[in-house]
Chain A
């Protein structure tokens, strides 16, 4: 067991060293996933790899939408430009809170090797095929990317509620059951939507803070759904990436959307 842990650590280090410039995940990490009613919770944005990340301070120019949905409705997360945590919320009532962050696009230019490697890692097979058919596999790629992160926070006892209608961010992972009610061995159905329509055939990856290198992966079915059997305990991040040809006038060839969903699993 110890040896297994060590080798997985080395694997993670290897990824860090060889791929520092590759596209990174971005996720929401609240200071607590189980706040008291009335509590003020700092909500951090983090960017990194294998749940090892740096805080992203609030950048007003990047925020398209940074909100929380609770039983009382939708509210923006407040914060000062440049501050970390990037936003704060007050828990107004017990229940499930859905935090959503949808960024404006950022631009990046990648060498062909790096772009091809990342397209492969994120399971964007159709993009790789499209590039091959256009004889572009050896070309550098200009890309605009937007972050579509969500987080589920529970105040008080869990019930079967999965929150109000989803916030409607561009690429969205929707937990179809409240993950805080899952018992050991039960599956979590998760649906991936792009512009509110199910997205089929996308790679969905889940990883846990306690051992991020041990990943669960699945492809979405025709209804955009995957079922994940999550081990109890620790913070989970579920992620998916969707890429399309960039719209005209965006000064890029590709536009990507990075969805993530974070929550914590109790050890019951």
Chain B
């Protein structure tokens, strides 16, 4: 296995060495599509070289001269962009001035593809659009870009639904540790009041740290948070073995543990990424999804064991204690595992 990796690595290295470097100039082009209605092509290029090219070009003004050198096409048909430009002076005597040219306009109705050609550079340049880059030569047309793949950001409803589902799936089925914690809360007492108070404390607490973490106001390393989450699960489960009534300190502890779990949720949500335009929507619906996941765990537990057995004499000895021991063992194992990472 390792040998094959080594061989693969060496092959990549050798292949990379055989690739010849290109003569890449200072010109770069970036294309933006706004809400599927307008386009904006930005060309940043050397101002002196551009001035020299303009000086020998037929035409009366900048716009007319520049227009002859660029081609903006949708579905293969050329469009006529509006042209504006600005020149940024050099930062010091030994550097070059840059010119920025913008080509803007409306995207034709029902257009499917966008093609770009810039005939006024002699070196290789990068064209970026929608996060993808094409390396082009002067005069070479870009590969057609599918506008659908560069679609505007999804609507608020779509975002809300997506993050609601992400929040739910972060508990069921992917968040076994959070599931076990919620089960631990459920198993303490057969009274509905006990479950309600603990779940409320947990929810309020993790909502606070999730929000604060996502806004960057607090930041605790997962190396600290993740083992502590495992310890919190072990603690709740072990306490269930010795305690059968809700005490006020238990609510306080569950609240404190909720703060930890919130930071864990934030870590996961940061990995998923939040759309900048719908930050609050995504944050709130992810949290709601998490609540829904918790309620699903409690509802399932209630239907499976609580409904039939909670009033039985053996409920504690045959359900609560063994289940809590199992949860505690799992959590202790996780604690050791997470501490060693």
List the interface of chain A (C-beta within 8 A of B): 9-10, 12-13, 16-17, 20-21, 24, 26, 31, 40, 42, 46-49, 52-57, 59, 61-62, 83-85, 88, 104-107, 144, 251
Contacts and interface: CB of A to CB of B under 8 A. Distances in A.
Interface of B: 18-27, 45-46, 49, 52-53, 56-58, 94-96, 119, 121-123, 137-140
Contacts of B20: 104-107, 144
B95 A84 contact: yes
A57 B25 contact: yes
A13 B96 contact: no
A212 to B, nearest CB: 9
Contact of A42 (B19, B52, B53, B94): B94
B56 A52 contact: yes
A9 B58 contact: yes
A54 B25 contact: yes
B137 A106 contact: no
Please classify the interface of chain B as helix (H, G, I), strand (E, B), loop, or mixed, using the class held by over half of its residues: loop
Contact of B58 (A13, A53, A251): A13
Contacts of B56: 9, 12-13, 52
Contacts, number: 85
29 contacts: A13-B56, A20-B122, A20-B138, A21-B137, A21-B139, A21-B140, A42-B94, A47-B122, A48-B49, A48-B122, A49-B122, A53-B49, A54-B27, A54-B46, A54-B49, A54-B121, A54-B122, A54-B123, A56-B24, A59-B24, A62-B23, A84-B26, A85-B96, A104-B20, A104-B21, A105-B20, A106-B21, A106-B22, A251-B18
Contacts of B57: 13
Contacts of B96: 55, 84-85
A46 B52 CA distance: 13
B25 A21 contact: no
Contacts of B18: 251
Given A47-B23, A47-B123, A106-B21, A52 B94 contact: no
Contacts of B45: 54
Given A47-B122, A54-B121, A106 B23 contact: yes
Nearest to A16: B119
Contacts of B139: 20-21
Nearest to B27: A54
A56 B21 contact: no
Contacts of B23: 26, 47, 56, 59, 62, 106
Given A21-B138, A40-B94, A52 B26 contact: no
A84 B119 contact: no
Nearest to B94: A42
Contacts of A83: 95
A169 to B, nearest CB: 17
A107 B22 CA distance: 7
